[in-house]
Amino acid sequence: MKSYRKELWFNIPARRGFVNITSQVEEALRESNIKEGLALISAMHITASVFINDDESGLHNDYDKWLEKLAPHEPVSQYSHNDTGEDNADAHMKRQIMGREVTVAITDGKLDFGPWEQIFYGEFDGRRRKRVLVKIIGE
Amino acid sequence: MKSYRKELWFNIPARRGFVNITSQVEEALRESNIKEGLALISAMHITASVFINDDESGLHNDYDKWLEKLAPHEPVSQYSHNDTGEDNADAHMKRQIMGREVTVAITDGKLDFGPWEQIFYGEFDGRRRKRVLVKIIGE
Amino acid sequence: MKSYRKELWFNIPARRGFVNITSQVEEALRESNIKEGLALISAMHITASVFINDDESGLHNDYDKWLEKLAPHEPVSQYSHNDTGEDNADAHMKRQIMGREVTVAITDGKLDFGPWEQIFYGEFDGRRRKRVLVKIIGE
């Protein structure tokens, strides 16, 4: 069994944003030289997500509005967590909806994807450097 | 390390529906001849889910009503994504709540499950052929 | 490829609660003697979650209030599932928001975590013995 590990770094200039990281994961997969196995792609920070969905900007606007409705940022005082001096309690909730991680099948050296699957980094408390972990195991 | 790959196809006759796919995943596991490892079961389409929960029709009705409350289909004009000519933006949201994928432990050649765990395909934009990927790695 | 399996048991005295299980997962990892691979940590019951987030009690209070808002326990009669004699339909929904499982990379014999990542058992229908499965594969 072979394994490969790589960190991807991001610094989203706004509080929230979505970045298509599919090509960076594909690059890590090529570097791994693994042809059959599983790839785990996970947010290393607890106010961010990794998820798979569509690369369509209207949908990303919809996600942003929808998450803000389900877990509003304001008023920050509505969350006990923000009594610690933080203002990001909503980001911890948005990340649970969108998920921490995805596991992707590796077949014939490629991400084994359906027609529209793309991997995204979802940032809910940005304006600082944060990481995604890519871990691939297989042969 | 061995690996096995199989696609399961579905054509749900309504917009939304839940299908118990546990026996189909068990069949793939038998075909794989893998006794110890991990199985990834993932929706290959971004308006569908794979999740693990209870095979109880009342609960499935509850899920359907609840998801419709959290991410309503109508009015379709409330979503920017639907300006592209689609009417399925809500399905992209419902799928994030229910999840893209599950990873299941394989022990002694069986799905290593608690007493009520069953695997479901969740369709949120049906009436066409769509796929689930089963990828099993192990020994 | 090596594999290791362990069950963790919990009996949460209230209906809902969060327990940090990171050190128990680390103990299972030491017992496994696996240095490179993947660990799956999953709830074996369908009214409970395993998730990764912050060990901060204010945030856990926020999660509890937020989940109760998205999927209220009362009135129990609002859910068809509860017509079966259960009163836990809301717990099946809360568990979908928080997730069934996490997959964690194992690197150099350690959980490969960012600075604040901690693993939690989330109980939504407690006051009885329930289990979490830890399955580790690798070398």
CB–CB of A107 and B5 under 8 A?
Answer: yes
Residue C38 near residue C103 (C-beta atoms within 8 A)? yes
Give the minimum alpha-carbon distance from C15 to chain B in angstroms, rounded to a whole number: 19
Distance, in Å, from the CA atom of C61 to the CA atom of C21, rounded to the nearest integer, reads: 18
Task: Indicate which of C38, C78, C131, C137 best probes the interface with B, i.e. most B CBs within 10 Å of its own CB.
Answer: C137
Give the minimum alpha-carbon distance from C107 to chain A in angstroms, rounded to a whole number: 8
Q: Which residues of A touch C105 (CB under 8 A)?
A: 5, 40, 42, 133, 135
Residues 46-105 of B with CB under 8 A from C: 51-54, 56-59, 61-63, 66, 70, 97-99, 102-105
C105 vs A45, A79, A135: nearest CB: A135
CB–CB of B102 and C103 under 8 A?
Answer: no
pLDDT of residue B98: 98
DSSP string of B71-127, one letter each residue: S---SGGG-GGGGGT-S-HHHHHHHHHH-SEEEEEEETTEE---TT-EEEEEESS-S
The first and second tokens of residue A39, run together, are 């790839």
CA C71 from centre of chain: 18
CA C91 from centre of chain: 13
CB–CB of C114 and A80 under 8 A?
Answer: no
Give the minimum alpha-carbon distance from B117 to chain C in angstroms, rounded to a whole number: 7
Task: Indicate which of A9, A76, A86, A96 best probes the interface with C, i.e. most C CBs within 10 Å of its own CB.
Answer: A96
- What ipTM score was computed for the predicted complex, to two decimals? 0.97
Q: What is the pLDDT along chain C (139 residues), one digit of tens a residue?
A: 999 999 999 999 999 999 999 999 999 999 999 999 999 999 999 999 999 999 999 999 999 999 999 999 999 999 999 999 999 999 999 999 999 999 999 999 999 999 999 999 999 999 999 999 999 999 9
Distance, in Å, from the CA atom of B113 to the CA atom of B105, rounded to the nearest integer, reads: 8
pLDDT of residue C134: 99
C101 vs B61, B102, B116: nearest CB: B102
- pTM comes to 0.98
pLDDT of residue C18: 98
CB–CB of C3 and B99 under 8 A?
Answer: no
Residue A139 identity (one-letter amino acid): E
CB–CB of B40 and A98 under 8 A?
Answer: no
The tens digit of pLDDT for each residue in B30-77 reads 999 999 999 999 999 999 999 999 999 999 999 999 999 999 999 999
Distance, in Å, from the CA atom of A89 to the CA atom of C64, rounded to the nearest integer, reads: 13
Distance, in Å, from the CA atom of B74 to the CA atom of C46, rounded to the nearest integer, reads: 30
Confidence of residue B93 (pLDDT cuts 50, 70, 90): very high
CB–CB of C37 and A89 under 8 A?
Answer: no
Q: Which residues of C touch A82 (CB under 8 A)?
A: 58
Task: Indicate which of C7, C25, C80 best probes the interface with B, i.e. most B CBs within 10 Å of its own CB.
Answer: C80
Q: What is the mean pLDDT of chain A?
A: 98
The tens digit of pLDDT for each residue in A33-68 reads 999 999 999 999 999 999 999 999 999 999 999 999
The tens digit of pLDDT for each residue in B106-136 reads 999 999 999 999 999 999 999 999 999 999 9
CB–CB of A79 and C97 under 8 A?
Answer: no
Residue B137 near residue B2 (C-beta atoms within 8 A)? yes
C131 in reach of chain B (CB within 8 A): yes
Taking the CB of residue A72, how many other CB atoms lie within 10 A of it?
Answer: 14
The tens digit of pLDDT for each residue in A65-106 reads 999 999 999 999 999 999 999 999 999 999 999 999 999 999
Kindly state the average pLDDT of the residues A109-128.
98
CB–CB of B84 and A36 under 8 A?
Answer: no
Contacts of B94 (CB under 8 A, 6+ apart): B16, B47, B49, B67, B70, B71, B122, B124
